[in-house]
Chain A
C-alpha cells in the first residue's frame, strides 16, 4: 500500500531573557546545580509568580515574524501533574488563550519549490528543572536551575509530509528565532527541543492514522533521522496488518531507532485552569506596533534583497541568509569591500572551507572576522594584493600570525607592484634572459601562444616575489611579445 506521512512538530524554544519567566533568577546555562533557583523557582510555600514582560515582547516578536494573529488578551493556566523536577506540582502555561495564534512559514523543498507550513499557535510557558539519575546511588538528584526558564512552544499544523520537510521546518524556525535574537539557538544546550508527532495513513484517506510522539529531539539531523526511523517502524507494523499504539517514544541515536518511553500510557488529566496568581496579559495595538518597529530584516526578506539588489543567485542568497550569524558576517564583509559577489564567493568558498575543515568552529567565532575578511577583499579590489596574496593574508590571520590586514600585507611583502615602469623592467629582463623561449613563442602557431605565456608570467611573478600585479604583467607582457612578433 502507498502510505502518506503526516507530521506535526512542537518546538520548545528557550527565550533569551536575562531572568526567568516568573522570577528574577538568572537563566544562564551551566551554573552549579540549584544556584540559580530562587524561592519562587523552588516553589516554596507563599511565593508568587510575577510575569517577565521581556518574555511577552519576545513572543510577540515571533508572532509578528510568522505573520500570526497576536492575542491581545492571553491567559496563563496551571497544568497540574506531579513530577520531582516540577516544583509547584503544576506548570504555568497557556491553554485556551495563547499569546500567538495562527501563523505560517515557508520552507524550501529539495526541488527548489516552496511549501507553506501553517503554525497553529505559539504559547508561553515555564520550563521544568532537571532530574539527574546518575551519581546518586539509586536516588535522583534535582537541579532546578532550568525551572522557570521561559519557553515558547510553537505548534505546527500536521502539514509536514516527510522527515526532510520536518528538518527544513525546524531549521526555518531556528533561523527566525535566532534572527530575532529571542533564542540563542544552541541546540546542544537544549535551547530548542522538538517533539515530533508522526502518523501514517493510506494515500488518499482523509482520516489521520494513530500517531506517536517522539519527545525531545534536539538537532536538525536527529529530527530527520528520528522521523525516518519512526516512519519505517510504523510502516512495518501497518504493512503487517498491525496497529499503532498512541504513545510517547524516544529516539536512540546510537541504535538509530525509536523506543517506547512509557509502556503503560495512561491518559493524563492535567486539570487545567486559569492561574489565579497571574492576571490576564492584555496588550493593545500600540504595543504590537512598537514591537513591530523593532523587528529586524528576516531571512526571507534578506534573501530577496540579496537577489534583487545585489544580483546574487537564489542558491547563494538562500545559503547566505539562512542564519543570522552567516548573514551578519557576509553583509558586513560585503559592505567593507563594496562587492557582494566577491564577498559571497569568499564566504561560501575560502571561509566555509576553512570552517568545515576546523570541524567545530561556527562562523560567529571564525578566527578571521568579518571586518578582516572585508579588508582583505577591499585590498583585492583596489589592486593592493592579488587573489593569491589575499589567501596568504587570510591564512596568516586564521593561523594567528597577526590580525592587522594591511600590516600583514606589508610584513608578508604581498603588496602588488602596479607601477608599469618597474614591471616593464622586470618583463624586459625576463624576456632578455629567455631568448630561446621568446623565439619559440614567436614561431608558434598563434592559437598555441596563449598557453606559452604562462611560462613568462611565472618567471616574472617569481622575479617580483609575487608582488607584480598580474593584470599589469599580462598587459605589458602581451604588448612586448606582440611587438616581437610584429618586429
Chain B
C-alpha cells in the first residue's frame, strides 16, 4: 500500500478501495516503525492527521470530495504550521510553535490533504547532507550510512522510505533536486515566484522557492497544482493564470530539442554518473527528441556568486532570531548584548553561524561593491546564459550531483567540498529558473538523478517530458531494499 503514488491513492480513495483513515494509519504506522532509523520526521502529528483523515472520509461520504481529499503527505519543517512546532531544523526554533499557516500549508489544507507531520531538514535549509539539523542527521533509505542530501533530506528520505507519498520541500541552491537525486525520488523546484514564500522561513529570499518531492513526475504535477498560487502576502509572488500541470503530461515530446551544457560534463562529474545521465538522454532520443550540445559559459561563477548572495541575505533574514520575542533565549542574560550573543551562539549551529558571518562580511562597508554588487552582476550573466540557450532548445538536461550519496561525516569537515555538491543546481536559483530531478539510473547501488532545466514558467512542459521518461523507464519505481 505504501508504494502507491499520490495519483494511485487518489484513485483508490475515489473508488473506496480504502479510506483516508486507513491509508493515513498505514503511513503513521510506517513512520513509527521505520523513522527511528531514518529520522526523516521532526514532528509527527498523528492525532491531527487522523482527525483530518476522518473529516476527509466524511466529505467523501457526502460526495463533496475533490482530488486531494484525504491524501496523506508531509511538510518540510521550514513551512509554518498553525499550532505545530516549526523548528526549521534549528535549536533556535526548537520551541517555536507557529501561530499561522504558510500559504503552501493552507493550500494543502484547503485541498483536503492530510498532513502526517513535519520533515527533518538542514538547519535553516543550510546544508547539502541534512547533517546540520539540530534534530540529528537523516539517513538515506538506500544506505543508512549515507546522507540523503539536503536541505530537504527529510522530505526526500521520507518519500524514498515510503513513509509518505509526497512531501513539500524548498530549494535555495539545490535543496529539492539534490536530495531527490540522492534518494531516487522526483523533485521539482518551480520558477521563482510561482509558489508563495509566505510562511516559509526565509534562508535567502531571492533564491528560496518551495516545491514538491514525490515518487513520480505525475505526483509532482498534482502537488504543484496545490502549491502554485498567486499570493498577495508575498510581493515576489507573480500573478499568472492558474494552470493544471497534469493536463499536458501525456503530450508527445517527439521533436523536442534537449540542450546538454558541455560545462556540466566536466571533470567534476563522476564518469559513472556521466554515463548514467547520457544513457537517460538516449532514452529521449528514442522518443524522437533531438539533442544539442550547448554552452553555459558562466557556470563556474555560480557557486562563488551563490556563496555571497545567499549568506548576505541570510545574515539579515536570521537577525530576527534574537532571543527577544520567540525562540531560544540564553539563561540569565547579564545585559542586552549578552542576551543577543549567547542566545544566537547557543541557538545556531556552526554552518548557520558560518554563513551569517560570511554574509555580514560581504555586506560590510568597503566590501559591499566587491562582493554583493559583483555577485548580483554575475547573476545577470548566468541568467543571460540560460536565456540565450533557450532560444535554441526546449529543455536543458544534465546531472544533478557530481556523485551519488556520500557517507555521513565524509564532507562535514570540509565546507568547500560540501558546497561543490550543488555545483549543477545552484545556477537555476540564481537565474530563477525551474528545474527537476528525476531518477535515471544507479551507480554502485545508489540512485542517480537526471536534472531537467526548464524555461521560465515552463513547469508544464518539464513535467510532461519527465512523465514521458517515467513511462519509458522504471528507475522511479525502484525502492530501497526492505521497502
* A residues lining the B interface (CB < 8 Å): 39, 42-51, 78, 80, 82, 84, 87-90, 142, 269, 271-273, 276-279
Closest to A80 in B: B316
Besides A46-B80, A89-B320, A273-B312, 18 new A-B residue pairs in contact (Cβ under 8 A), listed by A number: A44-B80, A45-B321, A45-B326, A46-B202, A48-B233, A49-B235, A50-B233, A50-B234, A50-B235, A80-B316, A80-B360, A87-B320, A89-B316, A269-B364, A269-B365, A271-B365, A271-B368, A273-B372
- Inter-chain contacts of A80 with B (CB < 8 A): 315-316, 319, 360, 363
Closest to A140 in B: B336
Contact yes or no, B198 A46, CB < 8 A: yes
Contact yes or no, B98 A46, CB < 8 A: yes
Closest to A82 in B: B340
Q: Interface majority SS on A: helix, strand, loop or mixed?
A: loop
Closest to A22 in B: B235
Contact yes or no, B198 A142, CB < 8 A: no
Contact yes or no, A46 B235, CB < 8 A: no
Contact yes or no, B364 A46, CB < 8 A: no
Max chain B C-beta neighbours (<10 A), residue from A49, A50, A271, A279? A271
Closest to A271 in B: B363
* Distance A47 CA – B198 CA, assembled complex (angstroms): 6
Q: Does B324 contact A (CB under 8 A)?
A: yes
Max chain B C-beta neighbours (<10 A), residue from A43, A47, A276? A276
- Inter-chain contacts of B322 with A (CB < 8 A): 82, 84, 89
Min CB distance B133 to A, Å, is: 16
- Inter-chain contacts of B235 with A (CB < 8 A): 48-51, 277-279
Min CB distance A25 to B, Å, is: 13
* Distance A142 CA – B235 CA, assembled complex (angstroms): 28
Q: Does B478 contact A (CB under 8 A)?
A: no
- Inter-chain contacts of B320 with A (CB < 8 A): 43-45, 87-89
Task: Tell me whether A44 and B316 are in contact in the complex, defined as CB-CB below 8 angstroms, given that A51-B235, A84-B336, A276-B205 are known contacts.
Answer: no
- Inter-chain contacts of B197 with A (CB < 8 A): 48
Q: Does B313 contact A (CB under 8 A)?
A: yes
Contact yes or no, B363 A273, CB < 8 A: yes
- Inter-chain contacts of A50 with B (CB < 8 A): 232-235
Task: Tell me whether A48 and B234 are in contact in the complex, defined as CB-CB below 8 angstroms, given that A89-B319, A276-B206 are known contacts.
Answer: yes
Contact yes or no, A48 B206, CB < 8 A: no
Q: Does B62 contact A (CB under 8 A)?
A: no
Contact yes or no, A82 B80, CB < 8 A: no
CB<8 Å pairs between A and B, sample of 29: A39-B99, A43-B320, A44-B99, A45-B96, A45-B98, A45-B326, A46-B79, A46-B86, A46-B98, A46-B198, A46-B199, A47-B198, A48-B198, A48-B233, A51-B235, A80-B360, A82-B340, A84-B324, A87-B324, A88-B316, A89-B322, A90-B319, A269-B365, A271-B316, A272-B368, A277-B202, A277-B205, A278-B235, A279-B236
- Inter-chain contacts of A273 with B (CB < 8 A): 312, 316, 363, 368, 372
Min CB distance B176 to A, Å, is: 18
Q: Does B50 contact A (CB under 8 A)?
A: no
- Inter-chain contacts of B198 with A (CB < 8 A): 46-48
Min CB distance B46 to A, Å, is: 24
Min CB distance B173 to A, Å, is: 15
Give which listed residue, A44, A87, A88, A276, contacts B313 with CB less than 8 A. Answer: A276
- Inter-chain contacts of B365 with A (CB < 8 A): 269, 271
Closest to A43 in B: B320
- Inter-chain contacts of B86 with A (CB < 8 A): 45-46
Closest to A79 in B: B316
Min CB distance A94 to B, Å, is: 15
Give which listed residue, B80, B204, B360, B372, contacts A45 with CB less than 8 A. Answer: B80
The 7 closest A-B pairs by CB, nearest first: A89-B319, A276-B206, A271-B363, A276-B205, A46-B199, A43-B320, A45-B201
Q: Does B88 contact A (CB under 8 A)?
A: yes
Min CB distance A243 to B, Å, is: 25
- Inter-chain contacts of B389 with A (CB < 8 A): none
Max chain A C-beta neighbours (<10 A), residue from B202, B319, B360? B319
Min CB distance A287 to B, Å, is: 18
- Inter-chain contacts of B321 with A (CB < 8 A): 45
- Inter-chain contacts of B312 with A (CB < 8 A): 273
* Distance A42 CA – B326 CA, assembled complex (angstroms): 10
- Inter-chain contacts of B372 with A (CB < 8 A): 273
Q: Does B381 contact A (CB under 8 A)?
A: no
* Distance A80 CA – B199 CA, assembled complex (angstroms): 22
Contact yes or no, A45 B88, CB < 8 A: yes
Contact yes or no, B315 A271, CB < 8 A: yes
* Distance A276 CA – B234 CA, assembled complex (angstroms): 11
Q: Does B42 contact A (CB under 8 A)?
A: no
Contact yes or no, B316 A90, CB < 8 A: yes
Task: Tell me whether A39 and B319 are in contact in the complex, defined as CB-CB below 8 angstroms, given that A273-B368, A278-B235 are known contacts.
Answer: no
Max chain B C-beta neighbours (<10 A), residue from A45, A51, A279? A45
Contact yes or no, B200 A271, CB < 8 A: no
Contact yes or no, A39 B316, CB < 8 A: no
Closest to B337 in A: A82
Give which listed residue, A88, A276, A278, A279, contacts B319 with CB less than 8 A. Answer: A88
Contact yes or no, A46 B319, CB < 8 A: no
Q: Does B334 contact A (CB under 8 A)?
A: no
Contact yes or no, B316 A78, CB < 8 A: yes
Closest to B231 in A: A48
Contact yes or no, B360 A42, CB < 8 A: no
Tell me the chain B residues, 321-356 only, with Cβ under 8 Å from chain A. 321-322, 324-326, 336, 340
